[in-house]
Structure formats: structure tokens, C-alpha cells
Amino acid sequence: MKILDIAHLVSGSCAVYLMVAVLHACGAAQPSDIGAGGHGGAGNLDAVNAGPTAGAGGIMDPVPPAHADNESGSRIRAKYYTADDGTKQWIGWFDSERKEDCYFYVAGDGQTRCLPPTGLLAHGYFSDAACSLELAPAEPSPCGSAQKYIIKQSAQLCGLTKTQVFATGAKFSGVKVYYVNGASCQSETIPSGYEFYAFGQEIPPTDFVPAAVTFE
């Protein structure tokens, strides 16, 4: 089996950006299928790093273009770079209740919500031979800061990707991980230098601020 290139997992970054701009069209590959053969082919661990963009394996920087008219609400606050000469550039949103950055994506309940943009990305790995207990891969952070969340994305309808947010659970102590290949659950030895974490409880979508498209 092919071995995952560690450098492609985090690309030396201290923060792993996880909100991926994929699955905007029918038939687009899901995050767990990125790479040659995906999890349905040989070399399952290659799927983590064979995405369409530079960086952490198909993971894209979620920050959209800046606009001058971004306005803060009662809970979601606009973030800006402010220069000494008064110049301001919008750089994102901050959830003042949860004390973390957030970006608007479709949550697991189908409602657009301001969700955390960083964490470990689910790639279809499991801790058991029945492929029922999910794991998320990670490389030890060069910044010494563990990821708080595991992000799982899935295509539901043409053009719609739902994003679920889970707490990061305990570090997996096994030496093999499993993945679905066709109708079977196959194993692969974890390469040296890699870690896998169990899924904790899903954060209820209602914990995140909802939003709707409006026109002016």
C-alpha cells in the first residue's frame, strides 16, 4: 500500500482549514473519496492528501473575498484588519458567545449556520473491523495545539454539502485503521508519525447561529 505523505496533511501550518469548497456540482467527490481510487481503491491513506488544492489534502482556506459592507450582529461580530491610517479590511466572522471564528455553511440540520472553520477532517477511517466507529487522522501539531473539533462533510443533494461538527475524542491507541472498500471493511497499518482521534459527541447544529439569504 502507498503511504501518506505527512507534509501534505498539514503543509507545516499551525491551523488546518477544513471548510472545503467542493461538492458544488452533482457527482463531485466527497472528502473521503478524494484521491486516486478514494476509499474504494488501493492506497487508502493517499486519499487524505490528494485533494484539488495546495495545503492539507483537499482542504481549502475558507476565507471568502472581503467586502466593505459586512455588518456585525448581536452575536456574530465582523473581524477587520485596521491600519494606523484608518484603513479597514474585513477578514471574517467571530462568534462572541462561543469565543471562536466562524464561517457560514450548511449545517447537519440543513440550515445555514456560522460554523467553526478549523479542526480535523473526517476521511472515512474507522477503529473497528465492522467500519462503524469513525476516526479522524492527524499529524502532531508543530504548534503544540490540538484541534478542538472534527469536521465531517457529506453530499446530500445536487449542489448541497452538509457539515457536521464533532468534539475531538480520545487519541486512538491501535496500530491499524479500517476503511470501506466496496462491500468489505479493510485494514491498513498506521504509518509512523500519524495519529488518529475518535469522534466525540456531535455539537448540536442549534448551538450555532442560523442565517438565511436575503435581498435588499
pLDDT tens track for 10-42: 433 333 444 443 333 333 333 333 233 334 333
CA 10/CA 33 separation, integer angstroms: 18
Which pLDDT score is estimated for 40?
35
Query: At 193, is the pLDDT very low, low, confident or very high (cuts 50, 70, 90)?
Result: confident
Which pLDDT score is estimated for 145?
63
Question: Bigger pLDDT: 148 or 33?
Answer: 148
Which pLDDT score is estimated for 64?
53
Residue ranges of the domains in the chain? 6-63+76-207
The rounded Cα 209 to chain-centroid distance in angstroms is: 19
The answer on pLDDT for 79 being more than 70 is yes
Least confident of 23-37, 153-167, 170-184: 23-37
Global pTM?
0.70
Which pLDDT score is estimated for 143?
66
Which pLDDT score is estimated for 70?
87
Q: In the chain, what is the greatest distance between 2 CA atoms, to the nearest angstrom?
A: 62
Q: Report residue 45: phi and psi, to 5°.
A: -65, -20
Question: Bigger pLDDT: 212 or 6?
Answer: 212
Q: For 143-149, what is the mean pLDDT?
A: 78
The answer on pLDDT for 179 being more than 90 is yes
Query: At 56, is the pLDDT very low, low, confident or very high (cuts 50, 70, 90)?
Result: very low
Q: With contact defined as beta carbons under 8 Å apart, do 157 and 163 qualify? A: no
Q: For 121-133, what is the mean pLDDT?
A: 95
The answer on pLDDT for 59 being more than 50 is no
- The residues, ordered by sequence, that sit 6+ positions from 131 with a Cβ below 8 Å of its Cβ are 178, 179, 180, 185
Nearest to 137 by CA among 94, 172, 161, 111: 172
Which pLDDT score is estimated for 44?
43
Mean pLDDT of the chain: 75
